[in-house]
Amino acid sequence: MREFHQNTKHQHSFPRTSQGFFDPTRSEKIFSAESLKLSFGNIKALNGVDFKVHRGEIVFLTGVSGAGKTTLLKVLGGVIKPDKGKLSRSEHKVFTAPIFQDLKLIENKSCEKNLMVSYDSSVYKSKKEFRSDMRDLCDMLGVTERLGILARDANGGMRQKISFIRAMLTRPDVILADEPTSALDFENAKKIFDILNYYNVKQGLTVVWATHNRDLANKFTGRIVHMDKGRLIYSGHACFI
């Protein structure tokens, strides 16, 4: 049982510039990484990465396969530890929900039962409230009519949608998503982003989204962080790349 949760009724007021853009320099740091290094044998997965994520940001990690995106996400999520360097997290309690490429669905259970594992009585007032959230997310992604099928029988796109909904149902403060739309067309990928963007604006959800498809990231609103050979080589907005 989780000991803390987000107040979903509270709407955050984020620091803005005079032009109305989000100003991360005036917001709390969720993650602050300094000189992160991590090797797997002779492969330098992270090679001196300095990286910060502020509350309320949407950040896209881009780069080719093997650039270090997944490794960085796993370090941020506490799945693995760096060999060297420092990673600081928010001094406040922050609940992070990962969406990794292996999805970790319960294959012999229905898609609906895979979603029900996210229910937490410390987060929701009742199962009715949980089911209402579940229904809304399923309707938005068009999976409501197929929730009865077993996870092992679902196609790649359906599996990614179920994994995404399951993470969102935990009402996280931070989403760490590794290629969450790789099996989806642009229309469905946009639906995923629109949901994340809605929760970002209304509830302060922080998003770190890793993708090798920079064209996809360029079409969405957020900060681009480009990686190559374990190094961070660019951080800014797509229009300046």
State CA 99 to chain mean position distance: 6
List pLDDT tens digits, range 34-91. 999 999 999 999 999 999 999 999 999 999 999 999 999 999 999 999 999 999 999 8
The C-alpha R_g of the chain, in whole angstroms, comes to 18
List pLDDT tens digits, range 180-189. 999 999 999 9
pTM, two decimals, is 0.86
Q: What is the pLDDT of residue 146?
A: 97
Architecture of domain 28-94+173-241: 3-Layer(aba) Sandwich (3.40)
Residue labelled with tokens 């403060």: 173
Which whole-number Å values give the CA distances from 33 to 73, 81, 98, 101, 178, in the listed order? Answer: 12, 12, 18, 23, 19
Domains of the chain, residue spans: 28-94+173-241, 104-169
List pLDDT tens digits, range 78-90. 999 999 999 999 9
